Chains A and B, each alone.
Chain A
Amino acid sequence: MSWQWFHRLGSPRWFYQKTSVWLPWLGTASLLLLAVGIAWGLGFAPEDFKQGNSYRIIYIHVPAAFLALAGYYIMAICGAIGLIWKMKLSFVVMRAAAPIGAALTFIALFTGAVWGKPTWGTYWVWDARITSMLILFFLYLGVMALSGAFAREQSGDKASALLALVGTVNIPIIYKSVDWWFTLHQPATLKLTEASTIDPSMFYPLITMIAGFYLFYAWVLTLHTRSLILQREWRTQWVRELLGQSAPAAKV
């Protein structure tokens, strides 16, 4: 089997040039979906018969939590690819994914707290779901801190990739915590194997928001990866040429 395509994928220069074409499409599509989803979910979807309007936090909370978990796997898998194939670009994507994931986890925790006060009667409880989500937030911060803690960039890559991989243990725990243990947090509304317990009029804007968040994540991850590539590769010929062409003042 030829691994050539795989190794070409690992070239930061190739990635930078390819994504220049994708970026505007990705950005437009994600902002469009998010705008439609937000207007639909916050403005037009009916209110819940028990919670009233406060349930609308679901349109931010659930997509953010989805991407916080999925983004962790993206980060860890990139770390694994980097370790196994010694692929520079993979480590760069891993580093780029950490702050985005941390921000999404924070959004999920924060919106959950805002919703918890009027619904449960408290901002915070230490149940299994919420505590494991807080651990996820600390894992993201840990990967960010560890990747920057070494003078040699390669040491930071390896150490933070190992931490990211060990941390994957937490993801199924977060996901299944509401089924395995008694928690204050309710079980999942969107189910893979059976009918979701949400009315279609509320479900479609939610799916739109989730799709929008996925595209937005891809967009932001690509943007951040590109800026990290330029920072890492600034000594190389192609980056110098690129900067020389677009911004002559940037020459050092």
Chain B
Amino acid sequence: MHPARKQRLILVVLLVALSSVAVGFVTYAMRANMDYFYAPSAFVAGEVPLEKRIRAGGCVVPGSILRDDDSLDVRFALTDGEAEVEVVFDKILPDLFAEGEAAVVTGKLQQGGYVRADQVLAKHDESYTPPEVADTMVGKADCKGDAKI
């Protein structure tokens, strides 16, 4: 290869490498802010500030959904397999919200360790299954409750 071309090749490789390193450092420094939500174990560990707008995400614990008889009020618990956090919500839940499915809520952590949410989003998993196949599945395969949901 011609020396001038080789030099330009090295410069191009250096440009990409150095900008990768720079962006790598920035994302590493901001790693806590890169997460869209806190896992329930972060609440238990006391990493989540009180009375600040935060998000919590996890699996809706089966059997934990309690609906009020004469209002939209609903309570449920989110889990990441290690810890649980209680959520209180008073608006309409999304269609795909269900027990054993993942959900992400936005709200404020209250004194007493529960989240008063003003938005609840359903988080869909990456599997796609036709109804006939879903009927033959044993138990619910989704939302295994591991930390990375």
- Chain A residues at the B interface, C-beta cutoff of 8 Å: 46-51, 55, 58, 80, 83-85, 118-122, 125-128, 162, 165-166, 168-170, 173, 179-184, 186-189, 197-199, 201-202
Contacts and interface: CB of A to CB of B under 8 A. Distances in A.
A186 B5 contact: no
B127 A198 contact: yes
Given A119-B94, A165-B12, 18 more contacts: A46-B131, A47-B130, A47-B131, A48-B129, A49-B130, A50-B129, A55-B128, A120-B96, A128-B36, A166-B19, A169-B16, A169-B20, A181-B31, A181-B34, A181-B35, A182-B37, A197-B126, A199-B130
A169 B35 CA distance: 19
A55 to B, nearest CB: 6
B138 interface: no
Contacts of A50: 96, 124, 129, 134
Nearest to B20: A169
A182 B126 contact: no
Interface in B134-149: 134-135, 148-149
A48 B130 contact: yes
A197 B123 CA distance: 16
B29 interface: no
Contact of B128 (A162, A183, A199): A199
Contact of B126 (A85, A168, A189): A189
Interface of B: 5, 8-9, 12, 15-16, 19-20, 23, 27, 31, 34-39, 57, 94-97, 104, 119-135, 148-149
Contacts, number: 117
Contacts of B35: 128, 181-182
Given A197-B127, A199-B128, A182 B39 contact: yes
Contacts of B27: 173
Given A83-B12, A84-B5, A121-B120, A197 B128 contact: yes
